Amino acid sequence: MSRLGNNADWADDEEFDDPSALPAQQVITNKDGTKTVISYRFNDENKKVKVTRRIKTTVVREHVNPQVAERRSWAKFGLEKGNPAGPSFDTTSVGENIVFRPSTNWKVQAKEAEKEGEKGSVKDQLKDKKVKCRICSGEHFTARCPFKDTMAPVEESTSGAGAEMDEDKAGGLGAGSSSYVPPHLRKGGAAGGEKMGGRFEKDDLATLRVTNVSELAEEQELRDLFERFGRVTRVFLARDRETQRAKGFAFISYADRGDAANACAKLDGFGYRHLILRVEFAKRST
Amino acid sequence: MRPILLSGHERSLNQIRFNKDGDLLFSVSKDKNVCAWWTANGERLGTYAGHQGAIWTVDVSPNTVILATGSADNTVRLWNIKTGECVKVWDFPTAVKRVAFSPDGSKLLAVTEKRMGFLGTIAVLDIAYGDGQGNNLDSQADEPSLRITCTESKATVAGWSFLGKYIIAGHEDGSVSQYDPKTGDQLENVQAHEFDHQINDIQFSADRTHFITASKDKSAKLMSARELAILKTYTADTPLNSASITAKKDYVILGGGQAAMDVTTTSARQGKFEARFYHKIFEDEIGRVRGHFGPLNTIDVHPAGTAYASGGEDGYVRIHHFDKGYFDFMYEVEREQLRK
């Protein structure tokens, strides 16, 4: 077995020479100009620890008093005698960042910061949720909607709560959503279930919602306007109960969905009594 | 700002001092070592060993050649800052609570404790700087050139006014007095703080025309050095151990906290272990910096006003380099003044 003879005895392997010896410090220069310094030391429990430090060197030029410059070259003494340049781990460390902004009303600010810290958990929970308006689907609360007065979300669930978070309606009862979802709308409303034969049930697909209607509008006027595009089966103009004035929105049902689509395309943005109509397909009412 | 934590001491800090250029920081504590630190990065330059007891006080000569320390082992020692050697030891009958160099560095005052039948004194020592190259620093006079004895109430802290014209001392009974450093006569005595509330610190402005005192009566006062008039009062909600006037911005920094013996009975939040920043002119509190786990025993401000350091009962020194928000803060009136 000449093969064995070529190899050095395993006992001579230099790794076993001195288990207490530390490998030499390695310095690698990276492409981006930083240096990686790998050094080894023993920690408090006498275990070998590998310390990898990535160092970026920035040269800061500073003009100092010559005495100060002379002091920079001083050698260490006392307990630090013989230690290499640079702060040592056991005496110097860097604390956590402190935000210090002087202000005359710092007490109020500190209190607010404290309160926010308490609220933090709830805030984190809602971090990924987006606010969605029920009227115009914009990113604001329904109560703050600029179309609040002109467009009423009647076909939607009127829970009364002004603010509602956008949530998937797929979940049934509970399932993390706070608002109640009626049985026939659960599972995306696809579930069959028996339906009550509502009077306008079959018209749902051909019903337009018209918003930004003038207060002075009349049902007949709207009928004349929308009749141009096909046979209108129903015109509903919402009125205020007391003043009998129009509330600003109306529903127009067509016999044919094609006519409805045509009317929607043509009359959306149509000027009517100084206001610009907004016409869209009505959503399924609940 | 990210504070630099210096953990070179094993016991609570007693005093920290920046040198005049602000590149070095010296700290003394109840353990027997004096530490010298580079303020820029917190690196320890070295330690000065030799004292046999707790070190109460430290001061650095204006030219950063000699360091003076006063200790509970009844000595004042002078050190060669560069080499760490002890160059002179003066023995006193009692512990030395405060040392301070005169503005020109030619004199050193040492406040001694009243104990064992000895009255509290303020001793003035002449300091020689050898050949100016840091050699022969050990040729110092053996005896104090002047001894002021405090017969009424012992002095706890003292310092030099502008041009070394007066010695200003704070007393145990809350009064501040002014002495003539040539004759040792007491020129004036003002009951600045509440009676029997000890003055724990006295620090001067850059030009030494006024100074700030910190007292156990939970207030700090800004006083003029010439007539000892109380210019401003800063009230805190805790006994104060230290107060300092910042350069560059018109602030003062106060440090304190309840007595060390009561610390363990309360939470850190209630302990009020924060550095309090007040506006020097308007006397408003404008912010706090927390971080220490115990009362702040000593505060010093970088002579250029770019940083401050605090030493606490917890044994840590924290160096804070101020960032932009600190320098930008201005009152509305200050901004208007600037516009004109």
pTM: 0.66
Q: Which of A98, A164, A178, A174 is nearest to A135 (CA)?
A: A164
pLDDT at A15 over 60: no
- Token pair in block for residue B9: 């001491």
pLDDT at A134 over 80: no
- Measured between alpha carbons, how far is B319 from B50 in angstroms, rounded to an integer? 26
pLDDT at B268 over 90: no
pLDDT band at A198 (very low <50, low <70, confident <90, very high): very low
* Residues of chain B positioned with their CB less than 8 A from the CB of A88: 43-44
**Better-scored residue on pLDDT, B70 or A199:** B70
Structural domains of chain B, ranges and CATH numbers in brackets: 4-339 (2.130.10.10)
Q: Determine, yes or no, domain membership for A257.
A: yes
Q: Does B3 sit within 8 Å of A102, measured CB to CB?
A: no
Q: What mean pLDDT is reported for chain B?
A: 90
- Residue A79's φ and ψ, nearest 5 degrees, are -65, -20
By Cβ distance, the residue of A76, A78, A100 closest to B49 is A78
**What's the whole-number mean pLDDT along residues B54-60?**
94
**What's the whole-number mean pLDDT along residues B216-224?**
92
- Domain hosting A265: range is 201-281
| Strands (DSSP E) found in chain A | 26-29, 35-42, 48-55, 92-94, 207-211, 232-239, 246-254, 271-272, 275-276, 278-281
Which pLDDT score is estimated for A117?
A: 58
Q: Determine, yes or no, domain membership for A210.
A: yes
What are the DSSP calls for B267-279, one per residue?
-TTTTT-EEEEEE
In sequence order, the 6+-apart residues with CB closer than 8 A to the CB of A67 are B21, B63, B64
Sheet holding B219-224, edge to edge: B199-204, B210-215, B219-224, B230-235
Q: Determine, yes or no, domain membership for A223.
A: yes
By Cβ distance, the residue of B8, B47, B287 closest to A100 is B287
**Amino acid identity at B244:** S
| CB < 8 Å & 24+ apart, contacts of B288-293 | B288/A106, B288/A110, B289/A98, B289/A100, B289/B320, B290/A98, B291/A95, B291/A98, B291/B3, B291/B318, B292/B257, B292/B316, B292/B318, B293/B268
Q: Does B277 sit within 8 Å of A67, measured CB to CB?
A: no
Alpha helix (H) ranges present in chain B?
A: 324-328, 332-339
pLDDT at A167 over 50: no
Q: Does B83 sit within 8 Å of A91, measured CB to CB?
A: no
Which pLDDT score is estimated for B233?
A: 93
pLDDT at A166 over 50: no
Which pLDDT score is estimated for B262?
A: 63
Q: Determine, yes or no, domain membership for A83.
A: yes
Classify B164 as helix, strand or coil: helix
In sequence order, the 6+-apart residues with CB closer than 8 A to the CB of B11 are B29, B30, B31, B54, B315
Q: Determine, yes or no, domain membership for A183.
A: no
Q: Are B301 and B244 in contact (CB under 8 A)?
A: yes
Q: Does B49 sit within 8 Å of A79, measured CB to CB?
A: yes
Q: Are B291 and A98 in contact (CB under 8 A)?
A: yes
Cα of A107 vs its chain's centroid, Å:
31
Which pLDDT score is estimated for B178?
A: 94
* Residues of chain A positioned with their CB less than 8 A from the CB of B82: 71, 74
Domain boundary among A91, A115, A145: A91
Domain boundary among A91, A117, A142: A91
Q: Tens digit of pLDDT for each residue in B136-154?
A: 788 888 888 999 998 888 9
| CB < 8 Å & 24+ apart, contacts of B141-149 | B142/B90, B144/B90, B144/B110, B145/B107, B146/B181, B146/B182, B146/B184, B147/B121, B147/B122, B147/B123, B147/B184, B148/B121, B148/B122, B148/B123, B148/B124, B148/B179, B148/B184, B148/B186, B149/B119, B149/B120, B149/B121
pLDDT band at B267 (very low <50, low <70, confident <90, very high): low
A17-26, B46-55, B185-194, B317-326: the lowest-pLDDT one: A17-26
pLDDT at B127 over 80: yes
- Token pair in block for residue B256: 């304190």
- Measured between alpha carbons, how far is B243 from B214 in angstroms, rounded to an integer? 6
In chain A, how many domains are there?
2
* Residues of chain A positioned with their CB less than 8 A from the CB of B26: none
Which pLDDT score is estimated for B229?
A: 92
A63-67, A194-198, B33-37, B121-125: the lowest-pLDDT one: A194-198
Which pLDDT score is estimated for B162?
A: 92
- Measured between alpha carbons, how far is B268 from B130 in angstroms, rounded to an integer? 49
Helix H or strand E encompassing A121:
helix A106-125
Which pLDDT score is estimated for A174?
A: 44
Distance from CA of A52 to the nearest CA of B (A): 20
Q: What mean pLDDT is reported for chain A?
A: 74
Report the CATH number that the domain containing residue A231 is assigned in CATH: 3.30.70.330
- Token pair in block for residue B215: 């007292």
Q: Are B205 and B245 in contact (CB under 8 A)?
A: yes
Range A3-29 burial, b when 16+ CB lie within 10 A, else e: eeeeeeeeeeeeeeeeeeeeeeeeeee
Q: What is the ipTM of this complex?
A: 0.76
* Residues of chain B positioned with their CB less than 8 A from the CB of A102: 251, 277, 286-287, 325-326, 329
Contacts across the A-B interface (CB distance below 8 Å): 118
**What's the whole-number mean pLDDT along residues A245-266?**
86
Q: Are B182 and B197 in contact (CB under 8 A)?
A: no
- Token pair in block for residue A103: 């202000």
pLDDT band at A164 (very low <50, low <70, confident <90, very high): very low
* Pairing of the two strands B219-224 and B210-215: antiparallel
Which pLDDT score is estimated for A188?
A: 54
Distance from CA of B281 to the nearest CA of A (A): 13
Q: Determine, yes or no, domain membership for A2.
A: no
**What's the whole-number mean pLDDT along residues A22-30?**
81
Which pLDDT score is estimated for B187?
A: 92
pLDDT at A5 over 60: no
- Measured between alpha carbons, how far is A243 from B285 in angstroms, rounded to an integer? 60
Q: Determine, yes or no, domain membership for A35.
A: yes
- Measured between alpha carbons, how far is B82 from A67 in angstroms, rounded to an integer? 12
Domain boundary among A76, A91, A106: A91
Which pLDDT score is estimated for A158?
A: 42
Q: Determine, yes or no, domain membership for A96.
A: no
pLDDT band at A156 (very low <50, low <70, confident <90, very high): very low
> In Å, how far are A203, B96, B117, B181, B297 from B109, measured between CA atoms?
101, 10, 21, 10, 21
**Cα nearest neighbour of A82 on chain B:** B46
- Measured between alpha carbons, how far is A105 from A114 in angstroms, rounded to an integer? 15
Which pLDDT score is estimated for A283?
A: 76
